[in-house]
Amino acid sequence: MISVSTLQEKDKRFLWHPYTQMQDYAQRDLLLIDRAEGICLFDQQGKRYFDTISSWWCIVHGHGHPTITEKIRLQLARLDQVLLAGTSHEGAILLAEQLVRLTPPMLSRVFYSDNGSTACEIAIKMSLQYWRQVGQPNRCQLVGIERGYHGDTIGTMSLGGVPEFHGPFAPLLFPSHRLPSPYCYRCPVGLDQNTCDCQCLQSLAGLLAEQGAQIAALIIEPLIQAAGGMIVYPAKYLQKMATLTKEYGVHLIFDEVATGFGRTGTMFALEQAGVAPDFLCLSKGLTAGMLPMAATLTTEEIFQAFYGNYGAGKTFFHGHTFSGNPLAAAAALGSLQVFAEEQTMAGLPDKIRHLQARMLRFADLPWVGDLRQIGMISAMELVKDRETKEAYDFHERVGWSIYLAGLAQGLLLRPIGNVIYLWLPLSVTLAEIDEITERAWQVLSDPQNIAGW
């Protein structure tokens, strides 16, 4: 067997890791994961780590769930890959049917791709082409939200709002409108979320009143801006937003790449607002994290605008080699089977309450400015001063020592700037929640792990 030190050495020689400053690992080894079981990862020495970030927010039923593994195995023996242009296959068809059944009735068509960025990029492109095809080519402006994140392609970066990630690419990004983030802890209009009337949406009302007829679509992550700092906001904000976009005929794109498939306590976050978007973008949890896949759902009205004679220029010329890959479709169908067989959603309220109860004590730590939770996602924002809410600068990397202390405690944490979070697989047990939160407490209650304290 190849030794750990050889692998580490080859890693340093040949690999370039995503969202990673490689110099951090010049004198230190990356965590080399050998295998996974349930919600845990094991390194080459057999040390166990709780996967508290669901391996970048995609693991749903734990790693290697037998039902899904078996589905993939059977599919592999039958059909591994086929293009989805001009051909089809059972898995893609049956999965599309199930996705349409699970989502609001308005959403009737499924367009596959293979990651969250493309799911969103497709929604943006479809919206643009739709308006051309229905005789409104001037509707070509787009709206995003500050602190929003929709992926790393040029289109999705252009609508994102996390300058720390996308700043270097600014010359490439197309101009678009940006609304203030519904960041209740740091309310952009200085109000209290319990008594406000979402006055932060007044800027949208103003924008639409002025330029509504030129705006094609608005994209937003429903209920939580995840990569932007786990910013949880109320459902009423989405309801008011939907009323406004509807009034001006602007497409609403819900990016549920991260929130889809139970993460917020309902199968889709949109259910908590009772709002149906024109586009719904899914990925990550779609296959329960087993294989890459994405889907963009849209309405019959939008689909029909693309339907016609080939020569009429209505075709949507977009596709990816692995769009609707049969193995990924089998995994997604397997995951939906597990949701049904294990009654995953019915078991969630107890887990969510338990997590909330276990996290409460973190709010008393002097460096925790805000503790926020939605569903199986619990986050805390660290501050230098609770009174003034003085923030750590992103580049101060307050999360780095916490990440390292987490590893020592057997927790794989991945702070985003000053926000430390748990994004737990839905299969986590109450006992595992106890263990994870106790270990997290050991990390976060120790001032030595908190820069400046």
Catalytic residues: 19, 149, 255, 284
- Does 151 help bind ligand PLP (rule: CB under 6 A)? yes
Window 193-232: residues binding ligand PLP (CB under 6 A): 221, 226-227
- Does 253 help bind ligand PLP (rule: CB under 6 A)? no
Considering only 116-124, 189-197, 206-214, 264-272, which stretch makes contact with ligand PLP by CB under 6 A? 116-124
To the nearest whole angstrom, how small is the minimum distance from the Cβ of residue 407 to ligand PLP?
A: 22
Considering only 123-131, 143-151, 244-252, 339-347, which stretch makes contact with ligand PLP by CB under 6 A? 143-151
- Does 296 help bind ligand PLP (rule: CB under 6 A)? no
Candidate list 54, 127, 158, 283; residue touching ligand PLP; CB under 6 A? 283
Considering only 114-122, 265-273, 364-372, 397-405, which stretch makes contact with ligand PLP by CB under 6 A? 114-122
For 254, residues 6+ apart whose C-beta sits below 8 A from its C-beta are 220, 221, 222, 269, 270, 275, 277, 279, 280, 281
- Does 120 help bind ligand PLP (rule: CB under 6 A)? yes
- Does 166 help bind ligand PLP (rule: CB under 6 A)? no
To the nearest whole angstrom, how small is the minimum distance from the Cβ of residue 159 to ligand PLP?
A: 10
Window 39-78: residues binding ligand PLP (CB under 6 A): none
Q: Please identify, using beta-carbon distances, which residue of 279 and 367 lies nearer to ligand PLP.
A: 279
Rounded CA separation 281/295 (Å) = 6
Considering only 130-138, 252-260, 266-274, 361-369, which stretch makes contact with ligand PLP by CB under 6 A? 252-260
The tokens 């080519």 sit on which residue?
Answer: 137
The residue of the chain with the least Cβ separation from ligand PLP equals: 116
To the nearest whole angstrom, how small is the minimum distance from the Cβ of residue 121 to ligand PLP?
A: 9
How big is the site for ligand PLP, counted in residues (CB under 6 A)? 14
Planar angle of CA 339, 65, 84, nearest 5 degrees:
75
Q: Please identify, using beta-carbon distances, which residue of 150 and 358 lies nearer to ligand PLP.
A: 150
- Does 116 help bind ligand PLP (rule: CB under 6 A)? yes
To the nearest whole angstrom, how small is the minimum distance from the Cβ of residue 197 to ligand PLP?
A: 26
Angstrom distances, CA of residue 208 to CA of 80, 351, 378, 431: 47, 41, 34, 49
- Does 336 help bind ligand PLP (rule: CB under 6 A)? no
Q: Give residues in contact with ligand PLP (CB under 6 A).
A: 115-117, 120, 149-151, 221, 226-227, 255, 257-258, 283
